[in-house]
Amino acid sequence: MSLTLEQVSKVVGRDTFIYPTDLHLEAGSLNVLLGPTLSGKTSLMRLMAGLDVPSTGRVRWKDQDVTGQPVQKRNIAMVYQQFINYPAMSVYENIASPLRIRGLSKKDIDKRVQEAADLLKLTPMLKRKPLELSGGQQQRCALARALVKDADLVLLDEPLANLDYKLREELREELPRIFTASGAVFVYATTEPTEALLLGGNTATLWEGHITQFAPTLAVYRKPNTMTTARVFSDPPMNFLQFTKQGEQLKFDDGQTSPATGVLANLPNQTYSLGFRPNHLSLERTSPEALSFQVTVTVVEISGSESFVHVKHGEQRWVALLSGINEPAPDTVLTMYVEPKHTYVFGANGALVSTSALAQAA
């Protein structure tokens, strides 16, 4: 049992929501769609579900072409960030509704509803109506209904966004185990790179209707194939700087030069873009090979245990993620450092250069 998209696209009028896309998802797999708002995640899930018909290409399910088959004929479950419940039914009846449609016995329905309600902390609320619940509780009701359905394809579109932190963390751990154990194809859309890393499985990065990379989650994070993928799979986004390799020197776009060391020493002489994540910028030199940059502070955001220091380097705007509380005043000039082993090198076309594969991003 697998789901395969073959050159699937979605065009409405002059707007292209999904460009021709190939994707193969195996049964029992957890697959994360990671991308910013309007990158195409929901559009792609609707094509998978049969809620929309693709403009081109085919959708294959269990080796059968189901491109024109409506959603009612597919055993799927889908939960949106904006939860959908039946307001006239109790929470119990909302959860039980797909089981009643399938004709299960009252005993089996009660058992599965109670199990889902217990997992999602809904047991005290089973007799209430959805409108008597908080937003987070209503979302849990929608999740429970998807959970009991025993679907072959489970599509969750940012389903935890409305939940409190503690419950969100619990469900991130429980949901993949539950759905993958069922043998279903599990697809989870999110805008948060951290959530993709916590869920694991495979990740497809999306940008403006394109899937830029699809592979095991840690492989995509550690070795993004393009600058676009690197931007998507970094929060805050990866920092970039253009430079030219000339012999044993690196010449940066602000006129600064630096010795070519580590993985940078083996690059052919040409122009590149250097990428490094915010957590790899430091205020201290940790080795003689570290690259140093003069930057000007623009804004500082303190989250408590960490500080996001926004800086300018020439025309480039970077973010440094520093541990602890750091409060440099705006317009302060700082020297920041990054280790060559923590950098990525991209060519003029934005593709990852193979010699940068030694970069340690974990």
Residues 274, 216 share a domain:
no
In a domain, 167, yes or no: yes
Domain's final residue, options 193, 225, 257: 225
**Based on the domain organization, do 125 and 249 belong to the same domain?**
no
On whether the CB atoms of residues 97 and 63 are closer than 8 A, the answer is: no
Residue reference for tokens 């430079």: 243
pLDDT (0 to 100) of residue 350: 95
Q: How many domains does the chain have?
A: 2
- Evaluate whether residue 230 is within a structural domain: no
Same domain, 197 and 276: no
Q: What is the pTM of this model?
A: 0.87
Query: Residues 6 or more apart from 7 whose CB is under 8 A from it?
Result: 20, 21, 22, 56, 57, 58
Strand partners, 6: 58
Whether residue 131 is found in the same domain as residue 260: no
Confidence at 179, pLDDT banded by 50, 70, 90 = low
Is the same domain home to 82 and 115?
yes
pLDDT, tens digit, for every residue of 51-95?
999 999 999 998 899 998 888 788 888 888 777 889 999 999 999
CATH for 84: 3.40.50.300
Residue 231 lies in a domain: no
Last residue of a domain, one of 225, 256, 284: 225
- 127 and 16 belong to one structural domain: yes
Q: Which of 252, 223, 244, 119 is nearest to 179 (CA)?
A: 119
Domain that holds residue 279: 236-358
CATH number assigned to the domain comprising residue 242: 2.40.50.140
In this prediction, residue 319 carries a pLDDT of 97
From residue 66, alpha-carbon distances to 24, 57, 156, 207 in Å are 15, 11, 20, 26
- In terms of domains, do 96 and 201 share one? yes
Pairwise CA distance, residues 8 & 204, whole Å: 15
**What integer pLDDT is reported at residue 357 of this predicted model?**
40
Residues 196 and 261 in one domain: no
pLDDT of 188 reads 94
Based on the fold, state whether residues 220 and 177 are members of the same structural domain. Answer: yes
Residues 30 and 166 in one domain: yes
Using the predicted structure, report yes or no on whether residue 231 has a pLDDT greater than 50. yes
For residue 73, is it within any domain?
yes
pLDDT at 360: 43
For 243-281, the pLDDT digits (tens) are: 999 998 999 877 788 888 877 888 899 999 999 999 999
Asked whether residue 307 falls in the same domain as residue 268, the answer is yes
Same domain, 119 and 16: yes
Q: Examine the pLDDT at 361 and tell me if it is beyond 70.
A: no
